[in-house]
Amino acid sequence: MPSVIVVGGGVAGLTVAHELVERGFEVQVFDTRTAWGGKARSQPVAGTGTNGRRDLPASTASASTHASTATSST
Ligand SMILES: Cc1cc2nc3c(=O)[nH]c(=O)nc-3n(C[C@H](O)[C@H](O)[C@H](O)COP(=O)(O)OP(=O)(O)OC[C@H]3O[C@@H](n4cnc5c(N)ncnc54)[C@H](O)[C@@H]3O)c2cc1C
């Protein structure tokens, strides 16, 4: 099976990865962040999740995120 590495898990990277997987490629996506989506990712607001649920996403771009090293594959 042909394989492809995609660097960057933003909208562009995830879109091309999706299209390649649909065409039979084995795809690995790498990103320096721990969250997918790049500039279009959801940013959780600390303290909004209750009863063990995850925090809710922000409705503005002012929430902070954590940047760290991550290597993930689809
Ligand atoms: C506040 C805001 C509002 C916006 N509103 C709209 C809108 O209403 N409509 C619209 O169409 N667009 C909007 N945009 C633009 C849209 O979000 C971006 O154009 C789009 O998300 C870009 O996607 P991308 O995949 O090209 O790049 P990015 O989202 O920048 O993704 C690049 C990814 O590559 C990763 N990366 C970078 N370097 C490396 C490396 N060396 N190794 C591994 N990973 C790496 C980054 O961490 C990132 O996850 C908005 C952008 C912002 C910031």
Opening angle at CA 65, ends 61 and 67, nearest 5 = 135
Instruction: Give this prediction's pTM.
Output: 0.79
| Position in ligand 1 atom list of the atom nearest CA 67 | 47
Residue 42: closest CA among 54, 27, 31: 54
Per-residue pLDDT, 60: 61
Per-residue pLDDT, 72: 44
Residue of higher predicted confidence among 36 and 65: 36
Residue 39: closest CA among 18, 74, 69, 65: 65
Cβ of 46 less than 6 Å from ligand 1: no
Residue of higher predicted confidence among 48 and 73: 48
HSE of 45 in the Cβ direction (CA atoms, 13 Å)?
Answer: 9
Q: Ligand 1 centre from 48 Cα, in Å? A: 25
- Most informative mutation of 31, 39, 71 for ligand 1 (most atoms within 8 A of CB): 39
* Mean pLDDT within 32-51: 92
